[in-house]
Amino acid sequence: DAGVTQSPTHLIKTRGQQVTLRCSPKSGHDTVSWYQQALGQGPQFIFQYYEEEERQRGNFPDRFSGHQFPNYSSELNVNALLLGDSALYLCASSLAGGDEYNEQFFGPGTRLTVL
Amino acid sequence: QKEVEQNSGPLSVPEGAIASLNCTYSDRVSQSFFWYRQYSGKSPELIMSIYSNGDKEDGRFTAQLNKASQYVSLLIRDSQPSDSATYLCAGTGANNLFFGTGTRLTVIP
């Protein structure tokens, strides 16, 4: 049973650039959530995708955008990168529209460094 | 007040002891709570889920939920050096998970 996968593992960008991160959910899951985890902090919710639409969004600027494809995989795009965007970006998948009782399982993450 | 608050520790216990990790939550957080374990440089791994008042046991782990006090805890019995990690408490609200900052646990051999 394939778990959540993310690519790339690591990424180095410079300020002002744009980045795209990718996620494939656990087999059978239909909902993808994205989180940002700064060093020493808990993950912070960015947004959640279900049925190819953004279902809920956290307190992140419009520079952060996403997409979900018909096969449930998802992308996170960040424009105009800032130094403060350096973090571990985590994708989590869950079942059946992300009901609050449904557990979320995380992928290995993408470590983004902005120079 | 943050949605989920944890004592950031660090917490050190000797091998074989019971480790107790605690978490409180605000009214913004709903009825489902989760404990994740995160090793350094790795992503969070789900270890316990709890939805109802009371205790839930799974092997050496026991999660406790007290909705009246808005309090969640995780007990690790017979702690092992391999349990050394950061433990994240999370609760659901508005279709997302709110996380605490994590408690770093070190089990001393």
- What is the C-alpha to C-alpha distance for residues B71 and B7, in angstroms, rounded to an integer? 12
What pLDDT was estimated at residue B105?
Answer: 96
Residue whose C-alpha is closest to residue B86's, from A33, A40, A90: A40
User: Does B34 contact A104 at a Cβ distance shorter than 8 Å?
Assistant: yes
Q: What is the pLDDT of residues A30-79, one digit of tens each?
A: 999 999 999 989 999 999 999 999 988 999 999 999 999 999 999 999 99
More confident residue, B25 or B96: B25
- What is the C-alpha to C-alpha distance for residues A11 and A6, in angstroms, rounded to an integer? 12
Contact B91, B72 (CB under 8 A): yes
- What is the C-alpha to C-alpha distance for residues A21 and A19, in angstroms, rounded to an integer? 7
What pLDDT was estimated at residue B81?
Answer: 97
Interface test with B, best of A37, A99, A104, A110 (most B CBs within 10 A): A104
Contacts of B92 in chain A (CB under 8 A): 100-101
Residue whose C-alpha is closest to residue B65's, from B33, B98, B91: B33
Question: Is the model's pLDDT at A100 over the cut of 70?
Answer: no
What pLDDT was estimated at residue A101?
Answer: 66
Contact B67, B61 (CB under 8 A): no
What pLDDT was estimated at residue B59?
Answer: 96
Q: What is the pLDDT of residues A83-94, one digit of tens each?
A: 999 999 999 999
